[in-house]
Amino acid sequence: MFNVHDTELDFGSYAAVYVTKKKNSTLDFGARYVHTFDTRTWGTAFEANFAYEMRPSGGITFRLTPTKTEKSWQIWADGTLKW
């Protein structure tokens, strides 16, 4: 099992798993790769409130709110190595 923090890698980097033999035999293996990542969406709110009594008052309010969502994808690989 391994974990790669892709926020610490340069663009185009990758992680790999290598299996090497230790003796003449067969090796049944399975691997599961899971990539989790964050996405951001932005919500907006606009509000206007004006009044006029002797002079204008009120104003405009605008809010931009980020929402972070974790997403993931995965892939499986399995097989047998023979020496």
- The span from the CA of 46 to the CA of 63, in Å, is 7
Mean model confidence pLDDT for the chain: 79
Domain boundaries, the chain: 14-82
DSSP-H helix ranges across the chain: none
Instruction: Give tens-digit pLDDT for 16-74.
Output: 777 776 777 788 888 888 888 888 888 988 888 888 777 777 888 888 888 988 888 88
- The span from the CA of 81 to the CA of 83, in Å, is 7
pLDDT score, position 35? 81
pLDDT score, position 13? 65
Q: What is the 3-state secondary structure (H, E, C) of 32-51?
A: EEEEEEEEEEEEEEEEEEEE
